[in-house]
Amino acid sequence: MQAMRALLALEDGRIFRGLGFGAKTECAGEVVFNTSLSGYQEIFTDPSYAGQIVVLTNPHIGNYGTTPSDAESARPMIEGLVTREFSAMSSNWRSTEVADEYLERNGIPVIAEVDTRAVVRHLRANGVMRGVIASGPDLDEAALVAKARAIRKMDGTDLASVVSTKVVYEWSDAEPKNQTGDKFLPQTEGGDPLHVVAYDFGIKENILRMLARENCRVTVVPAKTPAADVLSMNPDGVFFSNGPGDPEPLDYAISNVQALQGKAPLFGICLGHQIFGLALGGKTYKLKFGHHGGNHPILNHQTGKVEITAQNHNYNVDPASLPADVKQTHTNLNDQTLAGLKHATDPMFSVQYHPEASPGPHDSHYLFRDFRKMMEEWKK
């Protein structure tokens, strides 16, 4: 692993210097930080990070390598990576490729030996901003800052249709295995198979595993699939996935929720939750520096319990904008933002976090069971 001089240039003129790893190429995107202590490969491959450079606050990255089992999509989806220490080797029996080679092979540049605490403090104080990572012997700092300022802003950008599948496909891995052949997600006992149609706005693979765990046959459809086409598949329920970017430009998704409301049980996660909020008459807004990490406490108003959750989003639904027939079910205890909603009469609910990511580790798995129960009730 050979490193060279590298820079992270932000649009406000702040420069962070370090060493370049991964792909020897330049990247640009919105710079955000993630506070998770592990799971860096899941972060690399989460499609919700499309268009973003990710700063990891955990100082040691790459030390347990990478493995296909931990990928949430076919390839890394981040634009670039910023770390304190980037390991030249992997020490884990599951590892099949060191992180440096993995990111280099997939064209993702890395800047390491950076004071990530300073980067995070800067973003917390000033908000997320556009940035560029570049490496090489002669770097023009002013030119890189100018490039950062020229990047298209995330606001108003539809990235969901970019990362979405282009074809309809079936996903029915009801008994996912780890590398020893042991089931790591035991299937729920009992119940007839149910058919879920899942809109892919950047869906994570473990969401599909969790739906399959509830004895569901999943048909994944592209982001712009008309509601009429979904209903023609005779689903027992419809799922709206996570994904990147601003929810407001997704008129096609908002209208599909409105067309499906009351005609099938609906469940949304993250971007799906934001789409629900807009479809129900609410408004969304951009958070100052987003929620990205595996340690966000969420209060479940229905049970009074606090769940430790994984989150990855820059936009949120304004609870004050929602009509009276939409109930707030969950609240983020870090900043009191809306983290879950449910319609008073129609079978639909959503959450602004990732119940499949298991940081609790099982605090939020009940949401998939609740979706199954909702579908069973609907069929009666």
Q: Could you read off the pLDDT of 309-330 as tens digits, one per residue? A: 999 999 999 999 999 999 999 9
pLDDT in tens, 8-41: 999 999 999 999 999 999 999 999 999 999 999 9
Could you write out the DSSP letters of every residue in 124-166? Answer: HHH--EEEEEEESSS--HHHHHHHHHHSPPSTT---HHHHS-S
Q: How far apart are CA 349 and CA 79, in angstroms?
A: 32
Give yes or no for residue 184 having a pLDDT over 80.
no
Mean pLDDT of the chain: 93
> What confidence category does residue 220 fall into, taking pLDDT thresholds of 50, 70 and 90?
very high
Give CA separation, 55 vs 52, 72, 133, 156, 307, in Å.
Answer: 10, 19, 12, 23, 25
List phi, psi (to 5°) of 167. -135, 155
Q: What's residue 360's pLDDT?
A: 81
pLDDT in tens, 90-138: 999 999 999 999 999 999 999 999 999 999 999 999 999 999 999 998 8
Kindly state the helix (H) or strand (E) to which residue 255 belongs, with its residue range. helix 251-260
Give yes or no for residue 173 having a pLDDT over 90.
no
Q: How far apart are CA 58 and CA 369, in angstroms?
A: 33
Q: What's residue 359's pLDDT?
A: 81
**pTM higher than 0.85 for the full model?**
yes
Higher local confidence (pLDDT), 181 or 271: 271
Give CA separation, 41 vs 54, 129, 199, 230, 261, in Å.
Answer: 12, 23, 23, 32, 35
Q: How far apart are CA 271 and CA 202, in angstroms?
A: 9
Taking residues 84-94, what's their average pLDDT? 93
Residue recorded with tokens 């598949």: 233
Contact 337/313 with Cβ under 8 angstroms?
A: no
Higher local confidence (pLDDT), 254 or 2: 254
Identify residue 1 by its one-letter amino acid code. Answer: M
Q: Is 354 tagged catalytic?
A: yes
> What confidence category does residue 88 fall into, taking pLDDT thresholds of 50, 70 and 90?
confident
Q: What's residue 95's pLDDT?
A: 95
Q: Which of 270, 273, 296, 343 is catalytic?
A: 270
Q: How far apart are CA 379 and CA 156, in angstroms?
A: 38
Q: Is 175 tagged catalytic?
A: no
Domain limits, CATH 3.40.50.880, in the chain: 160-379
Residues present in the chain in total: 380
Nearby residues of 328 by Cβ (< 8 Å), 6 or more positions away: 301, 319, 322, 338, 340, 341
> Between the CA atoms of 99, 28, 357 and 206, what dihedral angle is there, to the nearest 10 degrees?
-80
Taking residues 225-249, what's their average pLDDT? 98
Taking residues 37-50, what's their average pLDDT? 96
Higher local confidence (pLDDT), 187 or 206: 206
> What confidence category does residue 3 fall into, taking pLDDT thresholds of 50, 70 and 90?
confident
DSSP-derived pairing of the beta strands 109-112 and 80-82:
parallel
User: Is CATH 3.50.30.20 correct for 4-150?
Assistant: yes
Q: Which CATH superfamily is domain 160-379 in?
A: Class I glutamine amidotransferase (GATase) domain (3.40.50.880)
Q: Which of 122, 273, 330, 354 is catalytic?
A: 354
pLDDT in tens, 248-261: 999 999 999 999 99
Structure tokens at 343: 């319609």
Q: Is 270 tagged catalytic?
A: yes
- 33: β partners: 55
> What confidence category does residue 175 fall into, taking pLDDT thresholds of 50, 70 and 90?
very low
Q: Which of 30, 205, 356, 365 is catalytic?
A: 356
Taking residues 184-203, what's their average pLDDT? 79
Residue 297, preceding peptide bond in cis (omega within 30° of 0): no
Kindly state the helix (H) or strand (E) to which residue 329 belongs, with its residue range. strand 326-332
Q: What's residue 182's pLDDT?
A: 35
Q: How far apart are CA 117 and CA 342, in angstroms?
A: 38
